[in-house]
C-alpha cells in the first residue's frame, strides 16, 4: 500500500514536471489564496499581541480615574452638550490621601508631548513625552527602573529638578558605555539631574514608552503649567479578584470628592487597561472575518482553476491512460493517480502560500514593532484547506480518467 502511494506521488511529480508552466500557474493560484488568508490573519495576530503588550504596561490589575470626555446629545429635546470639569490637583491628592483600599495609588499629569532634551552638544527630536508623577507611578504603570532609583516623597513634594528618562533617550544623549546617572540635562528651560533610566519596553501601536521623561509631579505643575490642567489617578491592586471591589470603592469616594449629585452620572471616567485592549481587539474580529471571507473566495477560484487544469490534463493524457489500462492498470489505479496528482499540486500551492503569508504578516508585525509570529493554527488551517480544495478539485477529473475506454483511449489523437 505504501509503495503504491509513493509510486503515485512519483508519477504525479513527473506529470507536474512535464507540464511545468501550467503546474506553476496552478500552484500560484492556490498559493495566493492561502497567502491572503494566512498573511492577513498573521498580521491580525501581531496587532493583537502588540495591543496586549502595550496595555500590559499599565499592569493587568490597574485601573485609572480620569477626566470624562465631552458628552454631546444629538436630536430633539432641551438637552445640551456637557463639558465635564477637569480633575484638579487638589481632588486627585485628596483621593490619594483618603482612599483606604489596600492598593497602590498614584497621581500623574501630562506635561507636553513635544519636548526636546539636551545634554552638552547632543539633543533629542522634539517628540519626547513629559509626565509628572509621584513615587508610586512606576508601580501602577508597570514600569521598571533599569539604572538608578525612583523619586522619593520629598522630591515629589518640593518639585525637585530630578528626572527618570526612557532607554531611547539615554541611548540618544549618551555614549554606549557612558552612565547617565547624575548627569545634568536640559528639559525645556530647566536643568535636571538624571536619577534613573527605565528598562526598555519597545514601541507598540504608535506609542513608544522608551521616549518619555518622568519628572516629579509638583515640578511639572510649576514649569509645564497650563489652564485647567488635568490630573489622572492610577490604582493598582495585587490580585485581579480585588479589581471590582477596588473600582466600586474608588468610584464612590471620588463621587463624594467631585461633589457628584446622587442619581446623576459620574463626572469622571474609569478605565481598565485590559478592557481597553479587549475593546480594540474586538474590532480586529471583524477584520479577521472579512479576511477569512476574502481568502475563502480566492480559494474557491483556485479550486475551480485546479479542476479545470486537471480536466485538461485528463484530455491531453488520454493515450497515456489507454496504454496504462492496456498494460493492466485498473480503474482504481488510474483514479488514484490523478487524485494524488491534484493533492500534490494543492499541497505545493499551500506550502508556498503559507510561507508568503507568514512573511507578509510578520512584515506588518515588524512595522508596528510587535514580536515575530508563527501562526501554527493558521498554518494547520491552510494545510487543511489546501487538502480540501485538492480533494474537491480532483474527484471529477479522476473519475473521468478512470471511466475512459482503453480501446478509444489508444485511438485518441
What was the pLDDT predicted at 226?
85
Q: Is residue 69 situated within a structural domain?
A: no
Residue 281: its pLDDT value, please?
58
366 located within any domain: yes
Q: What does the mean pLDDT of the chain come to?
A: 79
- Structural domain count, the chain: 2
pLDDT band at residue 198, thresholds of 50, 70 and 90?
very high
Helix (H) or strand (E) holding 272: strand 268-272
Looking at residues 56-63, what average pLDDT do you find? 65
Looking at residues 43-61, what average pLDDT do you find? 65
Q: Please state, in angstroms and as integers, the Cα–Cα distance from residue 70 to each residue in 78, 365, 375, following that order.
A: 17, 34, 41
Most confident by average pLDDT, 19-28, 43-52, 231-240, 337-346 = 231-240
260 and 289 share one domain? no
- pLDDT of residue 280 exceeding 80, the answer is no
- DSSP, res 102: S
Based on the fold, state whether residues 98 and 211 are members of the same structural domain: yes
Q: Are residues 259 and 290 in the same domain?
A: no
Helix (H, G, I), strand (E, B) or coil at 125: coil
> Nearest-CA neighbor of 103 among 150, 66, 154, 62?
62
Q: Which helix (DSSP H) or strand (DSSP E) does residue 111 occupy?
A: strand 104-115
pTM greater than 0.75:
no
Examine the pLDDT at 290 and tell me if it is beyond 80. no
Residue 68 lies in a domain: no
Say if residue 353 is in the same domain as residue 213.
no
Query: Is 340 in the same domain as 398?
Result: yes
Listed range (32-41, 74-83, 158-167) with the worst mean pLDDT: 74-83
- pLDDT(397) > 90: no
Q: Are residues 181 and 318 in the same domain?
A: no
Alpha carbon distance, N-terminus to C-terminus of the chain: 34
pLDDT, tens digit, 9 for 90 and up, residues 321-354: 777 777 777 777 777 777 777 788 888 888 888 8
Mean pLDDT of 359-369: 76
Q: Is the pLDDT of residue 57 over 60?
A: no
Furthest CA-CA distance within the chain:
103
Tell me, yes or no, whether 251 and 104 share the same domain: yes
Domain boundary among 220, 237, 266: 266
Dihedral sign for Cα atoms in the order 232, 238, 244, 250? negative
Decide if 146 is inside a domain: yes
The answer as to whether 221 is a domain residue is: yes
Q: Which of 214, 243, 266 is at the close of a domain? A: 266
What is the predicted pLDDT for the residue at 361?
79
Average pLDDT, integer, range 386-399: 76
**Same domain for 142 and 245?**
yes
pLDDT digits (tens, 9 = 90+) for 228-248: 889 999 999 888 778 889 999
- CA-nearest of 43, 91, 1, 35 to 366 is 43
Position 407 scores a pLDDT of 64
Does 316 reside within a domain?
yes
In the predicted model, what is the mean pLDDT of residues 182-198?
92
pLDDT, position 150: 93
Tell me: do 90 and 215 sit in the same domain. yes
Is the residue at 194 inside a domain? yes
- The C-alpha cell at 22 is 501550467
Mean pLDDT of 378-404: 76
**Taking residues 51-79, what's their average pLDDT?**
60
Strands 162-165 and 190-198: parallel
Q: Is the pLDDT of residue 31 over 80?
A: yes
Mean pLDDT throughout 244-266?
Answer: 90
- Asked if residue 275 lies in contact with residue 95, where contact means CB atoms within 8 angstroms, the answer is no
Q: What is the pLDDT of residue 76?
A: 45
Q: Can you give the length of the chain in residues? A: 413
Supply the range of the domain harboring residue 222.
85-266
Is 244 a domain residue? yes
pLDDT at residue 364 tops 70: yes
Q: Which of 245, 266, 287 is the last residue of a domain?
A: 266
Q: Residues 115, 228: one domain?
A: yes
Q: Mark whether 313 and 370 lie in a shared domain.
A: yes
- Pair 136, 173 in one domain: yes
DSSP symbols for 295-308: HHHHHHHHHHHHHH
pLDDT tens for each residue of 121-158: 898 988 899 999 999 999 888 888 999 999 999 999 99
CA 55 to CA 274: how far, in whole Å?
Answer: 7
Q: Taking 60 as the threshold, does the pLDDT of residue 42 lie above it?
A: yes
Amino acid at each position: 500500500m505504501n509503495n503504491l502511494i509513493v509510486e503515485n506521488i512519483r508519477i504525479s511529480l513527473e506529470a507536474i514536471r512535464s507540464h511545468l508552466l501550467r503546474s506553476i500557474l496552478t500552484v500560484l493560484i492556490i498559493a495566493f489564496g492561502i497567502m491572503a488568508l494566512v498573511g492577513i490573519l498573521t498580521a491580525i495576530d501581531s496587532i493583537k499581541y502588540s495591543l496586549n503588550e502595550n496595555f500590559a504596561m499599565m499592569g493587568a490589575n490597574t485601573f485609572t480615574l480620569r477626566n470624562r470626555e465631552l458628552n454631546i446629545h444629538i436630536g430633539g429635546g432641551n438637552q445640551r452638550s456637557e463639558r465635564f470639569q477637569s480633575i484638579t490637583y487638589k481632588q486627585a491628592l485628596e483621593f490619594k490621601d483618603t482612599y483606604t483600599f489596600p492598593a497602590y495609588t498614584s497621581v500623574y499629569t501630562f506635561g507636553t508631548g513635544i519636548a526636546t532634551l539636551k545634554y552638552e552638544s547632543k539633543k533629542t527630536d522634539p517628540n519626547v513625552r513629559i509626565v509628572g508623577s509621584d513615587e508610586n507611578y512606576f508601580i501602577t504603570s508597570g514600569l521598571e527602573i533599569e539604572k538608578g532609583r525612583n523619586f522619593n516623597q520629598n522630591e515629589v513634594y518640593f518639585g525637585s529638578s530630578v528626572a527618570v528618562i526612557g532607554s531611547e533617550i539615554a541611548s540618544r544623549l549618551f555614549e554606549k558605555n557612558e552612565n547617565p546617572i547624575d548627569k545634568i540635562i536640559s528639559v525645556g528651560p530647566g536643568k535636571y539631574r538624571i536619577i534613573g533610566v527605565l528598562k526598555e519596553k519597545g514601541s507598540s501601536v504608535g506609542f513608544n514608552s522608551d521616549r518619555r521623561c518622568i519628572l516629579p509631579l509638583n515640578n511639572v505643575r510649576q514649569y509645564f503649567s497650563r489652564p485647567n490642567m488635568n490630573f489622572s489617578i492610577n490604582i493598582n491592586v495585587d490580585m485581579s479578584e480585588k479589581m471590582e471591589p477596588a473600582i466600586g470603592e474608588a468610584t464612590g469616594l471620588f463621587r463624594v470628592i467631585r461633589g457628584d449629585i446622587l442619581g446623576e452620572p459620574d463626572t469622571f471616567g474609569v478605565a481598565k487597561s485590559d478592557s481597553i485592549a479587549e475593546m480594540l481587539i474586538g474590532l480586529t474580529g471583524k477584520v479577521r472575518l472579512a479576511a477569512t471571507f476574502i481568502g475563502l473566495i480566492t480559494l474557491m477560484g483556485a479550486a475551480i482553476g485546479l479542476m479545470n487544469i486537471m480536466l485538461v490534463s485528463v484530455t491531453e493524457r488520454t493515450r497515456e491512460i489507454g496504454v496504462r489500462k492496456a498494460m493492466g492498470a485498473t480503474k482504481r489505479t488510474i483514479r488514484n493517480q490523478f487524485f494524488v496528482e491534484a493533492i500534490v499540486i494543492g499541497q505545493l500551492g499551500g506550502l508556498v502560500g503559507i510561507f508568503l503569508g507568514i512573511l507578509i504578516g510578520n512584515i506588518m508585525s515588524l512595522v508596528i514593532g510587535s514580536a515575530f509570529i508563527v501562526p501554527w493554527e493558521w498554518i494547520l488551517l491552510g494545510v487543511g484547506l489546501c487538502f480540501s480544495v485538492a480533494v474537491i478539485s480532483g474527484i471529477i477529473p479522476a473519475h473521468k480518467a478512470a471511466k475512459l475506454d482503453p480501446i478509444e483511449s489508444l485511438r485518441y489523437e
